[in-house]
Amino acid sequence: MAVDAGVSKATLYNNPAAKEFFLDFGLEVQGEWESEGEWMDQVVGLNDVKVACVGLRTPDGQAWIELIKFYTPSDALNFMVE
């Protein structure tokens, strides 16, 4: 997991289970979205990127996390961990 400017990001295979995990701790869903295209490719540094994201925050608004699942490319998790 990487931490950048107060935002934590986790790359996951199972967003629904991860989302439930954080909901059990009291975090609140602020949004769910999918992203793909040239901009996403440039941000991630890979080609043909498609992701699903869930944004959650603590009730006091002091923390925000994004759970990210890569649909494509299939080897994105290996790239992100290295």
* pTM metric for this prediction: 0.68
Report how far residue 29's alpha carbon sits from residue 9's, in angstroms, rounded to the nearest whole number. Answer: 15
* Number of independent structural domains in the chain: 1
Give domain status of residue 25, yes or no: yes
The dihedral built from the CA positions of residue 66, 56, 32 and 69, taken in this order, carries a sign that is positive
Report how far residue 11's alpha carbon sits from residue 70's, in angstroms, rounded to the nearest whole number. Answer: 8
Could you tell me if 2 and 9 are in contact, meaning their C-beta atoms sit under 8 angstroms apart? Answer: yes
Give domain status of residue 49, yes or no: yes
Six token digits for residue 81 = 């961990």
Give domain status of residue 36, yes or no: yes
- Average the pLDDT over each of 6-10, 33-37, 73-77 and give the range with the smallest value: 6-10
Give domain status of residue 81, yes or no: no
Tally the residues of the chain: 82
Place 1 in a pLDDT band, splitting at 50, 70 and 90: very low
At 14-56, the pLDDT tens digits run 778 888 999 999 999 999 999 999 999 998 888 999 999 999 9
